[in-house]
Amino acid sequence: MTKIVEYFFSIGSPWSYIGFDAFVELAAKSGVEIKPYLTTVVEENGGIFSRNRPQVRRSYWMRDLKAGRVCGARN
């Protein structure tokens, strides 16, 4: 029986993008199937779409992305 990993991700999340290749590689090595679920921002729970975030928060987000590239994360 194939093991299944449920993968919840957001197309708006840079971390979903950066970690995806490593996740797929790990799943393949482990012999598991990935069952993806696309999620979205839930504003009722306090989520804020990136376009509505304050500039300082968007700038910090960009800094994190650049730091990820320096550390060898997916380009």
- Sequential pLDDT tens for the chain (75 residues): 889 999 988 876 777 777 888 899 999 999 999 999 988 776 776 677 777 778 887 787 777 777 766 555 554
The helix/strand/coil state of 40 is coil
The answer to whether 68 and 12 are in contact (CB under 8 A) is no
Q: How many helices (H) and strands (E) does the chain have?
A: 2, 2
Q: How many domains does the chain have?
A: 1
Distance between CA atoms of 31 and 2, rounded to whole angstroms?
7
Residue 54: domain span: 3-70
Residue 44 included in any domain = yes
Q: Does 27 reside within a domain?
A: yes
CA distance 23 to 35: 12
Asked whether residue 75 is assigned to any structural domain, the reply reads no
φ and ψ at residue 31, rounded to 5 degrees: 70, 35
pTM: 0.58
